[in-house]
């Protein structure tokens, strides 16, 4: 399914229903104006599996994605149903390489007994959110902005799927730079993002979605950090 042009690769990590993958590809393609292609399945996740925790190490999956993604994939988003963790936290529902190429979203903590359409809409928003991190966007205080940090499904549902004016300006700037380097929209030979980017890939900062991800002390001095999600 690979093609020559720069695209966003939507990568099922483990078994994922085609309807969800197609919806995410459609959603991010519309939002970013780049073709999104469901490709490069990671069918075996045992390399990231932790036996004691019976969870999967999201950073390991991101590294694998960056290694194996074809250069024509300017961004890669993995979609998984498995429960993700990083060693210091109980779980994460998403992780992204800030300003890098890869990100991942997990449905495990975000799927309830809602209607299928609502769940798919929620995951589409999460996909846009994580991909924006790969465009170097950080969290936003505006609760309606898609870059607002959300702790659970309810909060994701309250959030819109669009960027606030400030984040949009930031995004435009980052996107323009990437587009200039990648000739996005032109069917020409690609350089890999690694070559095009000013920073080596290993220097990109992973950003995890979790209760602990934002520092509540910073926003509300005096409140106690919820330790519930610490390992
Ligand atoms: Zn914003
Ligand atoms: Zn985030």
Pairwise CA distance, residues 225 & 73, whole Å: 38
Instruction: Say which ligand is closest to the CA of 149.
Output: 2
Ligand nearest to the CA of 210: 2
What per-residue confidence (pLDDT) applies to 126?
Answer: 94
Catalytic residue among 95, 130, 182, 209: 130
CA of 30 to the centre of ligand 2 (A): 20
Region of 183 please: left (phi>0), alpha (psi -120 to 50) or beta.
left
Could you tell me the domains of the chain?
7-226 (3.40.390.10)
User: What pLDDT is stored for residue 184 in this prediction?
Assistant: 62
Specify the pLDDT at position 71.
85
Which residues are near ligand 2, the ion (C-beta closer than 5 Å)?
A: 209
- Cβ–Cβ contacts within 10 Å for residue 219, how many? 9
Q: How far is the CA of 139 from the centre of ligand 2 (A)?
A: 6
How would you list the strands of the sheet with 84-86, edge to edge? 49-50, 55-57, 84-86, 89-92
How much is the pLDDT for 82?
A: 96
Cα-to-centroid distance, 132 and ligand 2 (Å): 8
- Tabulate helix, strand, coil % of the chain (nearest 5): 35, 20, 40
From its phi and psi, is residue 7 left (phi > 0), alpha (psi between -120 and 50) or beta?
A: beta
Measured between alpha carbons, how far is 190 from 186 in angstroms, rounded to an integer?
A: 10
Report the pLDDT value the prediction gives residue 220, as an integer from 0 to 100. Answer: 31
How many residues belong to the chain?
A: 231
Computed over its alpha carbons, how large is the radius of gyration of the chain? 17
Ligand having the closest approach to the CA of 167: 1
The residue among 102, 122, 123 whose CA lies nearest residue 58 is: 102
> For residue 176, what pLDDT is reported?
85
What is the pLDDT, as a whole number, of residue 33?
A: 86
Determine the distance separating the centroid of ligand 2 and the alpha carbon of 215, expressed in angstroms. 13
Residues 92, 106: Cα–Cα separation, whole Å: 8
149 Cα–ligand 1 center, Å: 10
Tell me which residues of the chain have a pLDDT lower than 50: 1-4, 185-204, 211-231
Give the alpha-carbon dihedral of 92, 89, 150, 76, to 10 degrees.
Answer: -30
100 Cα–ligand 2 center, Å: 14
Per the annotation, the verdict on 214 as an active-site residue is no
pLDDT at 6: 84
Q: Considering the entire predicted model, what is its pTM?
A: 0.80
Ligand number nearest to the C-alpha of 138: 2
pLDDT for 142 equals 92
């Amino acid at each position: 399914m690979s093609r020559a042009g720069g695209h966003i690769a939507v990568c099922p990590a483990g078994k994922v229903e085609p309807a969800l993958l197609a919806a995410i590809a459609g959603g991010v393609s519309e939002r970013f104006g780049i073709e999104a292609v469901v490709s490069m399945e990671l069918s075996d996740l045992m390399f990231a599996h932790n036996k004691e925790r019976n969870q999967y190490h999201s950073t390991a999956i991101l590294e694998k994605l960056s290694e194996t993604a074809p250069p024509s994939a300017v961004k890669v988003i993995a979609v998984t149903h498995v429960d993700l963790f990083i060693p210091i936290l109980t779980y994460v529902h998403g992780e992204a390489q800030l300003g890098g190429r890869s990100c991942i979203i997990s449905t495990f903590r975000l799927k309830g007994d809602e209607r299928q359409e609502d769940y798919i809409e929620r995951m589409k928003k999460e996909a846009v959110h994580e991909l924006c991190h790969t465009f170097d966007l950080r969290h936003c205080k505006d609760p309606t902005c898609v870059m607002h940090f959300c702790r659970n499904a309810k909060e994701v549902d309250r959030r819109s799927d669009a960027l606030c004016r400030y984040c949009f300006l930031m995004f435009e700037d980052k996107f323009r730079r990437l587009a200039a380097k990648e000739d996005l929209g032109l069917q020409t030979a690609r350089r890999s993002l690694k070559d095009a980017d000013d920073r080596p890939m290993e220097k990109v900062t992973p950003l995890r979605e979790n209760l602990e991800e934002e520092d509540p002390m910073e926003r509300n001095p005096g409140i106690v950090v919820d330790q519930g999600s610490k390992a």
